[in-house]
Amino acid sequence: MALPPLPLVVPEDEVEITAMRAQGAGGQNVNKVSSAVHLRFDVAASSLPEGVKERLLALRDTRITQEGVVVIKAQQYRSQEQNRADALERLNALVNTVAVPPRVRRATKPTYGSQQRRLEGKAQRGVTKALRGRVRDGS
């Protein structure tokens, strides 16, 4: 039995992180402190394995632009460092969702027994429905 692969970690030097002011409620702190983080990660230019890149770009995710750049905005915490760690964690979680290739489905045929049970069920339903018709006098 094969062990699951170790989770992929995106190198920090391939990620562009900029600080900005957070949106929403927060009072004076929000207005004067650049605690939100904007993370950009170019998938095509990264050192990820080719299969992972293809599956990541094939995702229908709003965080991935047409150019293949993952954009994550983190503003949950009051500290810029916590938001930075949160953004990197979310990026690694996104990459690891496609790290393992999906299993290939092989088409199979129904067994002889299952075919027979299906046909018997159809015949029984046909009899049941035929009994629902108008009652006819036997004479």
Residue 93 contacts residue 7 (beta carbons within 8 Å): no
Q: What spatial distance separates the first Cα and last Cα of the chain, rounded to whole Å? A: 73
- Over 70: is that where the pLDDT of 2 sits? no
Kindly report, residue by residue over 18-66, the tens digit of the pLDDT. Answer: 888 777 766 666 666 778 888 898 888 888 888 888 888 888 888 888 8
Domains present along the chain, CATH in parentheses: 12-97 (3.30.160.20)
Higher-confidence residue: 91 or 137?
91
- Over 50: is that where the pLDDT of 1 sits? no
- Over 80: is that where the pLDDT of 80 sits? yes
Identify the band that residue 6 occupies on the pLDDT scale cut at 50, 70 and 90. low
Kindly report, residue by residue over 100-138, the tens digit of the pLDDT. Answer: 888 899 999 999 999 999 999 999 999 999 989 887 776
Q: In sequence order, what E strands does 21-83 have?
A: 36-42, 69-74
DSSP-H helix ranges across the chain: 28-32, 50-58, 80-97, 112-130
Residue 43 contacts residue 67 (beta carbons within 8 Å): no
pLDDT of residue 3: 47
Identify the band that residue 139 occupies on the pLDDT scale cut at 50, 70 and 90. low
